[in-house]
Amino acid sequence: MNAFEILGDPVRRRIVELLADGEIPAGAVTEVIGTEFGISQPAVSAQLRVLREAGFAAVRPQGARRLYAIRPDAFDEVDAWLTTNRRRWTQSLDALDTEIARGRSRREQGGKP
Amino acid sequence: MNAFEILGDPVRRRIVELLADGEIPAGAVTEVIGTEFGISQPAVSAQLRVLREAGFAAVRPQGARRLYAIRPDAFDEVDAWLTTNRRRWTQSLDALDTEIARGRSRREQGGKP
DNA sequence: GCTGTATATAACTTACAACTGATATAAAAT
DNA sequence: ATTTTATATCAGTTGTAAGTTATATACAGC
């Protein structure tokens, strides 16, 4: 599963938001998500597993509890993709601008009727 | 459909990459995506529609062709979410660090047996 | 006015991700 | 030891997004 796909799900995104403020036990996540989205404990647990396996979350047992935390590195992939592509289109837009500034647009496009 | 959900699909992400280099006709997109993913013209057309309706792409008719281009603003939502949340967890990690630096960790956590 | 391209839409099918309820596992509390 | 609490896993169901084929629309060239 791709990083964007992981963050594509609203429940997972909300879980990430919760973990973003610091390590919290699965139970706390379940409670918030459960009430906000009206889904069951197993459902939340499954999404935590997805986040874990995708490298977005780390778990640490503390007695019977499981403390979940964000793993920032997982977001690098997303950042990289966005940066790379934004660069591309800002470049192509800039190129278009200079093209227009040079007044080439008329010739290429058919110009005035 | 949320911005992350839009970018969650690999076909759509690839289409965005293609549009990133500048305006291109639907046909060109269809050709590349078709061969790369082995999907039909209607399938590509449908994904272009999704990108359009989600505000990620703009269309401009040129005769029988439809020229597609990126709409950079659509990515603001993604950027904003990432920025906001990264800020949160870097803060909480920094807080943890200072906490440890202060040597508080032992008391709070049960410490040595 | 036809014929051929280019693209979009319609109707239908299908794979799968996201659930549910039931149950297993393991630690905590009694 | 038993019961309770915390979390994970299993088996099964289901909604929907992404695909397919067939067809409509609209422009381009003859």
How do residues A30-77 score in pLDDT, each as one tens digit? 999 999 999 999 999 999 999 999 999 999 999 999 999 999 999 999
Q: What residues 6-65 of chain B have any CB closer than 8 A to a CB of chain A?
A: 7-10, 13, 16-17, 19-22
Range with the poorest average pLDDT among A34-38, B2-6, B7-11, B89-93:
B89-93
Q: Is the pLDDT of residue B19 over 70?
A: yes
Q: Which residue has the higher pLDDT, A109 or B14?
A: B14
Please count the CA atoms within 13 angstroms of the CA of A51 that sit on its side-chain side: 31
Secondary structure (H, E, C), chain B: CCHHHHHHCHHHHHHHHHHHCCCEEHHHHHHHHHHHHCCCHHHHHHHHHHHHHCCCEEEEEECCEEEEEECHHHHHHHHHHHHHHHHHHHHHHHHHHHHHHCCCHHHHHCCCC
Domain boundaries, chain B: 3-70, 74-109
The reply to whether B50 has its C-beta less than 7 Å from any atom of strand D is: yes
Quick one: pLDDT at residue A2? 93
Identify the CATH class of B3-70.
Answer: mainly alpha
Q: Does A87 score more than 70 pLDDT?
A: yes
Mutate to test the interface with A, among B6, B13, B85 (most CBs of A within 10 A): B85
Beta bridge partners, A62, equal: A65
| Interatomic distance A39 CA / C29 C1' (Å) | 29
Task: Please give the pLDDT value at position B104.
Answer: 62
Closest residue of A to B86, CA-based?
A20
Q: Which helix (H) or strand (E) holds A36?
A: helix A26-37
Interface probe for A, chosen from B56, B65, B70 (most Cβ of A below 10 Å), is B70
pLDDT at A95: 73
pLDDT at A15 over 50: yes
The yes-or-no verdict on residue B61 having pLDDT over 90 is yes
Mean pLDDT of B77-97: 88
The model carries a pTM of: 0.88
Residue A44's pLDDT is what?
Answer: 98
Instruction: Assess whether pLDDT exceeds 50 at residue A110.
Output: no
Q: Say which residues have a Cβ less than 8 Å from residue A71's Cβ, sequence separation at least 6.
A: A55, A56, A57, A58
Reported as a pLDDT band with limits 50, 70 and 90, residue A112 is very low
**What does the alpha-carbon distance between residue A92 and residue B98 come to, in Å, rounded to a whole number?**
45
Looking at every residue in chain A, the average pLDDT score rounds to 89
